[in-house]
Amino acid sequence: MKLKQYFDIIDINEINRCIAEKQEEHLTLEFKTVNHPDYNNENKGFDKKNISKIISGFANSTGGIVIWGIEAKTNTEGQDVAKAKRPIKELTKFLNLLNRLEGQAVTPTVTGIEHKKIVISDDTGFIKSFIPQSDSAPHMANFSEKHYYKRSGDSFYQCEHYDIIDMISRKRSPRLKVSVRVIQKEMRHQSIYRWQVVVSVINEGTNIAKYPYLALNFSLGFVKDGFGIDGNKGTGLAYVRNNLNYQHNYSGGIDRPIFPSAMVDVDKFYIECPIDSNPPHLILDYIVTAEDCESSKGKLEINADEFQKHS
């Protein structure tokens, strides 16, 4: 389940489960108690500091969820786990505080943050916050001594100089994504359907992807179309044979960069099935990278229902 999908389903039942099962904090989940509304001279900055640190840490990492109103304690194995519910009074005021401070808590601001109430009675309850991974990192925590934070395991840590340099370099790097789509179903020899798919690479980053490289492994039955992507044996990236662990390898030289926001259709593949059989189920494993770009491994699937839509 994706992080945002989990955030959307968190309710009082999920909170009860976290307590009962002693749910561990982890890379993308944090539990926090609040001082609101019982402030005094000693703790009045506590909530602001936590808000600032959490937004900075999650946004500078892979994103995350914080559930406000749950106490976490370290167990005998050294893991921080959910221990008890500590419902927040004057819940609407704390929600307003979160909404007001999120724009002030970090520099630059983070877009896409969400806060939602989980009410149990009379403006008392919990708040769940979703902080997405940011494309504008690094983000400085303005209310936590203007430090930069990242998430590691179940805790936040103050960034070293090299962490900040790394985030800046990633920000200026290309970011490549692989996609596969069904383009055609045609009848062959009166008793066979040929299903065709196209594999593409999209640059979602802010810099040109130079010397892009793509390696593919298809599930059984899918073969490369000998006529290429253009019907004349051409491919979007040059077909090469330099990785024996993958069936199909493609590379782009200086003459085949992938520009920001551009999509390159790399090649076409097909599978042939008897007319009276079910549509295929495609599984595609891939590696994609480029100069000054992190190598990314992944898996894509198209199930029979998706193929059927192209009948």
Claim to verify: residue 26 and residue 116 sit in the same structural domain: yes
Q: Of 138, 171, 204, at which residue does a domain stop?
A: 171
User: Average pLDDT of 159-183?
Assistant: 87
Structure tokens at 123: 């403006």
How far is residue 184 CA from its own chain's centroid? Answer: 30
**pLDDT above 70 as % of the chain:** 98
Q: How far apart are CA 210 and CA 1, in angstroms?
A: 33
Claim to verify: residue 71 and residue 192 sit in the same structural domain: no
Structure tokens at 16: 């009860």
Q: Of 171, 204, 237, at which residue does a domain stop?
A: 171
Contact in structure between 82 and 44 (CB atoms under 8 Å): no
User: Average pLDDT of 57-70?
Assistant: 96
CATH of residue 192's domain is 2.60.40.10
**pLDDT above 90 as % of the chain:** 71
β-bridge pairing 70-74 and 80-85: antiparallel
- In angstroms, what CA-CA distances link 64 with 58, 99, 215, 259? 5, 17, 31, 30
Domain count for the chain:
2
Query: Residue 135: pLDDT band by 50, 70, 90 thresholds?
Result: confident
Q: Note if the pTM is more than 0.85.
A: no
Claim to verify: residue 239 and residue 299 sit in the same structural domain: yes
Structure tokens at 79: 């893991």
Q: Does the pLDDT at position 64 exceed 90?
A: yes
Q: What is the mean pLDDT of the chain?
A: 92
Q: How far apart are CA 160 and CA 137, in angstroms?
A: 14
Residue that is written with structure tokens 């724009």 in the block: 103
Q: Does the pLDDT at position 40 exceed 90?
A: no
Q: Of 122, 139, 171, at which residue does a domain stop?
A: 171
Query: Residue 159: pLDDT band by 50, 70, 90 thresholds?
Result: very high
Bond from prior residue into 138 cis (ω within 30 degrees of 0): yes
Phi then psi dihedrals of residue 180, to 5 deg: -140, 140
Claim to verify: residue 222 and residue 152 sit in the same structural domain: no
Claim to verify: residue 21 and residue 126 sit in the same structural domain: yes
Q: Does the pLDDT at position 6 exceed 80?
A: yes
Query: Residue 141: pLDDT band by 50, 70, 90 thresholds?
Result: very high
Roughly what angle, to the nearest 10 degrees, separates helices 46-59 and 91-105?
A: 60
β-bridge pairing 106-107 and 238-240: unpaired
Contact in structure between 208 and 259 (CB atoms under 8 Å): yes
Claim to verify: residue 71 and residue 157 sit in the same structural domain: yes
Structure tokens at 90: 């004057």
β-bridge pairing 213-218 and 282-290: antiparallel
Claim to verify: residue 245 and residue 296 sit in the same structural domain: yes
| Helix, strand, coil content of the chain in percent (nearest 5) | 20, 40, 40
Domain that holds residue 213: 176-308
Q: How far apart are CA 311 and CA 298, in angstroms?
A: 28
Neighbouring CB atoms inside 10 A of 300's CB total 16
pLDDT of residue 305: 85
Query: Residue 168: pLDDT band by 50, 70, 90 thresholds?
Result: confident
Q: Does the pLDDT at position 311 exceed 70?
A: no
β-bridge pairing 282-290 and 263-274: unpaired
Q: Does the pLDDT at position 104 exceed 90?
A: yes
pLDDT of residue 276: 85
Claim to verify: residue 230 and residue 131 sit in the same structural domain: no
Phi then psi dihedrals of residue 237, to 5 deg: -125, 155
How far is residue 24 CA from its own chain's centroid? Answer: 21
Claim to verify: residue 233 and residue 284 sit in the same structural domain: yes
Query: Tell me, what DSSP letter sits at residue 159?
Result: P
Claim to verify: residue 163 and residue 182 sit in the same structural domain: no
Of 125-139, 182-196, 240-254, the range with the lowest mean pLDDT is 182-196
Query: Residue 288: pLDDT band by 50, 70, 90 thresholds?
Result: very high
Q: How far apart are CA 20 and CA 154, in angstroms?
A: 19
Residue that is written with structure tokens 């990242």 in the block: 150
Q: How far apart are CA 127 and CA 290, in angstroms?
A: 41
Residue that is written with structure tokens 């994706």 in the block: 2
* Residues, the chain: 311
Contact in structure between 109 and 103 (CB atoms under 8 Å): yes
